[in-house]
């Protein structure tokens, strides 16, 4: 598992934080959008204190609730890893991706300040998650798709991998005591 954490979790976490810092440095919050692929893909800088699809964004205790949920998920993943809940390469890869996504967005929630987006400049739990990738595929429900980031992508890919793993990986065998 350590190899997967070093191979996937750390590089993806660093990519997530680097890309968010680059966006914060180059795009004003809720400012301009740069079209990368005409009519389909844009870069921009938006703040999200909620979860997927912007649900609960801006609510009073969102950062507290989602920080608690993130830490609980990490505790569950640690427990699950130690109890061999994730027996195969696919499920362990998914865990490495989820951990990357959790740490990426949790770092923002804990340390990214609203006034200028500087990492490690804000008050504890006063931050926001930087979302910056926006797609519009031109047909419902994909027009436009809610903004997201690298960490969000890691979590989505991990969920898909866990779904596949639940069908193709054998559950761990329980030892029978005689």
Set 16, 115, 131, 136: catalytic member: 131
Q: What was the pLDDT predicted at 126? A: 65
Residue 51 vs residue 91, higher pLDDT: 91
> Is the four-CA dihedral 162, 158, 108, 79 of positive or negative sign?
positive
For residue 131, indicate whether it is catalytic: yes
Alpha helices in 27-88 (DSSP H): 62-82
Q: What was the pLDDT predicted at 43? A: 96
Q: What was the pLDDT predicted at 159? A: 95
The strand pair at 129-135 and 41-48 is best described as antiparallel
- Extract the runs of DSSP E, i.e. beta strands, from the chain: 34-37, 41-48, 129-135, 145-148
18-66 pLDDT per residue, tens:
999 999 999 988 888 999 999 889 999 988 876 665 665 666 677 788 8
Set 28, 108, 136, 152: catalytic member: 152
Query: Could you tell me what percent of the chain has a pLDDT over 70?
Result: 81
What is the band of 172 on the pLDDT scale with cuts at 50, 70, 90? low
SS3 content of the chain, % helix, strand, coil (to 5): 50, 15, 35
Q: What was the pLDDT predicted at 30? A: 82
Cα–Cα distance for residue pair 145/136, rounded to 1 Å = 6
Pair 149, 16: CB distance under 8 Å: yes
Output the CA torsion 154→155→159→162 (10° steps): 70
110-142 pLDDT per residue, tens:
887 766 555 545 555 667 889 999 998 888 776
Cα–Cα distance for residue pair 141/70, rounded to 1 Å = 27
pTM beyond 0.85, yes or no: no
């Amino acid at each position: 598992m350590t190899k997967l954490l070093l191979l996937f979790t750390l590089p993806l976490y660093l990519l997530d934080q680097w890309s968010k810092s680059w966006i914060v440095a180059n795009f004003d919050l809720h400012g301009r959008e740069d079209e990368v692929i005409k009519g389909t893909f844009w870069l921009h800088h938006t703040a999200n204190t909620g979860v997927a699809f912007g649900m609960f964004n801006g609510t009073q205790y969102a950062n507290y609730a989602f920080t608690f949920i993130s830490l609980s998920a990490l505790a569950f993943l640690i427990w699950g890893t130690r109890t061999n809940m994730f027996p195969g390469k696919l499920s362990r890869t998914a865990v490495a991706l989820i951990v990357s996504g959790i740490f990426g967005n949790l770092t923002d929630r804990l340390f990214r300040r609203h006034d200028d987006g500087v990492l490690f400049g804000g008050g504890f739990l006063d931050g926001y998650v930087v979302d910056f990738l926006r797609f519009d595929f031109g047909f419902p429900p994909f027009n436009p798709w809610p903004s997201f980031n690298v960490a969000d992508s890691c979590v989505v890919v991990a969920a898909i991998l866990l779904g596949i793993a639940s069908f193709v990986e054998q559950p761990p065998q329980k030892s029978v005591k005689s």
